[in-house]
Amino acid sequence: MGQAIATTTNVLILSSMYILVALGFALLFSMMGLLNFAHGAIYTIGGYIGYQFAVRLGLNPWTALFLTTVIVAGFGAFLEKFCFRPFVGDFNRIVMVSVAITTVLQTLINIWESGEVLTLPPFVTGVLKSGRFAVSYQRLVTFAVGASLLGVATWFVRRTRWGQQMQAIAQNTEAAFLQGINVRRISMIAFALGCGLAAIAGCLMGSYIQLSPFMGDTMFAKVLILVILAGVGSIGGIFLTGLLLGALDAVLPLLMRGSFSDAIAVVIVVVLLLFKPKGFFGHEA
Partner 1 sequence: MGKKGLILGMCIGLVFTGVSMFLLATPGAAQQAKTIKIGVLAAQSGWFSAIEVLDIQDLMNMAKMINAKGGLIIKGQKYDVEIVIEDIKSTFDGCTAAANRLVFDKKVKFVLGPGGFFGPAAAPVLNPNKVMYVLSYATTQPGALGAEYPYGFLANNASVGYAIVAMKALKKEFPNVKKLTVMMPDDGAAPYLVPALKRVHAQYGVTMVGDVILYPNEMQDFSPIAAKLDAMKDADAIQHAMGIPNQVGNIVKGLRELGNNKPYLGPPGVNGTDVATVAGAANATNMTCTATTPLDPSNPPIQNELLRMRTNDPKTRFMANLPNLLYILTNVMKAADSFDPEVVKAKWESLDTVDTINGKGYIGGDLTYGIKHHAVGYPFPYQRVQDGKVVAAHWVDVGVIP
Interface with partner 1 by CB under 8 A: which residues?
A: 2-3, 6-7, 9-10, 13-14, 17, 107, 110-111, 114-119, 122, 125, 127, 129, 134-136, 205, 208-210, 212-215, 217-219, 222, 249-251, 253-254, 257-262
| C-alpha span between 210 and 113 (Å, rounded) | 13
| C-alpha span between 152 and 167 (Å, rounded) | 16
User: Of 8 and 171, which CB lies nearer to partner 1 in the complex structure?
Assistant: 8
User: Of 119 and 167, which CB lies nearer to partner 1 in the complex structure?
Assistant: 119
| C-alpha span between 242 and 227 (Å, rounded) | 9
Give min distance, CB of 124 to partner 1, in A. Answer: 12
Give min distance, CB of 55 to partner 1, in A. Answer: 10
User: Of 182 and 218, which CB lies nearer to partner 1 in the complex structure?
Assistant: 218
Give min distance, CB of 108 to partner 1, in A. Answer: 12
Dihedral sign, CA of 18, 23, 24, 25? positive
User: Of 116 and 174, which CB lies nearer to partner 1 in the complex structure?
Assistant: 116
Give min distance, CB of 212 to partner 1, in A. Answer: 6
Give min distance, CB of 3 to partner 1, in A. Answer: 5
User: Of 127 and 152, which CB lies nearer to partner 1 in the complex structure?
Assistant: 127
